[in-house]
Structure 1
Amino acid sequence: MNADNKCGLSPDSQYVELAVEVFSMLADATRIRIILALRDEELSVNHLADIVDKSPAAVSQHLAKLRLARIVATRQEGTRVFYRLANEHARQLVADAIFQAEHALDQNPAHHRAAMPAAAPVRSITGA
């Protein structure tokens, strides 16, 4: 608990208002889909548009907002711009939100089932 307080995780933290802005920025299904698409690789606007099934113009507007919020970063290669997550926290925040949503719909959500190790086969005393 003390470590949480040292890292700004207290009710009176100066970061609470900024955290609200992050949640506000993520309160859009297209932006969540963009973050999920970027979780393992950097992608161009056109590739992201194909993945999230939106127009490149719409995706570009969402990316501009995510970039202003420092959730995504860019790399330019010639005339193409590639987007990536700025850090691992957006990935984890979205994953946790999806996991929480799974809990709302299922008492035994998929992320818990996936984390459970497979049971070892039971052997008889004879070794068969």
Structure 2
Amino acid sequence: MSLTTVDQPEEIFQQAVDTFELLGSAPRLRIVWELSRAERDVSSLAAQLGKSLAVVSRHLTKLRLAGLVSVRTQGRYQVYTVEDAWVIEIVHRMMENLVRRRDEDDGDHGADPPRQL
């Protein structure tokens, strides 16, 4: 059954809001973007983002507690990744859409109607 034909309980909407709020932070969205491309440890993420270890670590903790990223130990490093294909899909589609809008020649940036998935 399609999600569009079923009423969703309020708790599902609240979980979606909570997830989008987490992704609504530019550093956290960038972290998810980078981790969707390759797993990384805190040091390499901090260097890639130009942020301190403490800042990146705080964001990773929030993302991990929300279940958006996972961590595993590799030697003496904690390596983070995004394993949820749907999270990766949402972030990639959003970024692709924004790049497409930016690159449109006609300058019309009106919202496209949502597509049926």
TM normalised by structure 2 equals 0.77
Q: Which amino acid aligns with 1:3?
A: S
Residue 126 (structure 1) aligns with: none
- Between 1:88-97 and 1:56-65, the stretch displaced more is 88-97
Q: Which has the higher contact order (CA 8 A, sep 6+)?
A: 2
Residue 15 (structure 2) aligns with: 18
Q: Establish whether residue 94 from structure 1 lines up as the match of residue 85 from structure 2.
A: no
Query: Whole-Å Cα distance in 1 between the matches of residues 63 and 73 of structure 2?
Result: 17
Shift of 1:5: 4.6
Q: Which runs of 5+ in 1 are unaligned?
A: 109-128
Higher helix share: 2
Q: Which amino acid aligns with 1:43?
A: R
Query: Whole-Å Cα distance in 2 between the matches of residues 81 and 103 of structure 1?
Result: 35
Residue 59 (structure 2) aligns with: 62
* Displacement over 6 Å in runs of 4+: none
Q: CA RMSD in A?
A: 2.0
Cα deviations by residue, 1:11-35 (Å, 9 ceiling, x for unpaired): 5344111011000000011111111
- Between 1:12-21 and 1:63-72, the stretch displaced more is 12-21
Residue 2 (structure 2) aligns with: 3
What pairs up with 1:28-43 in 2 under 5 angstroms?
28-43=25-40
Aligned length: 104
Aligned with 1:38: secondary structure?
Answer: helix
Shift of 1:37: 1.0
Shift of 1:106: 3.8
Residue 75 (structure 2) aligns with: 78
Query: Whole-Å Cα distance in 1 between the matches of residues 62 and 36 of structure 2?
Result: 17
Aligned-residue sequence identity (percent) comes to 30
Query: Whole-Å Cα distance in 1 between the matches of residues 28 and 87 of structure 2?
Result: 11
TM normalised by structure 1 equals 0.71
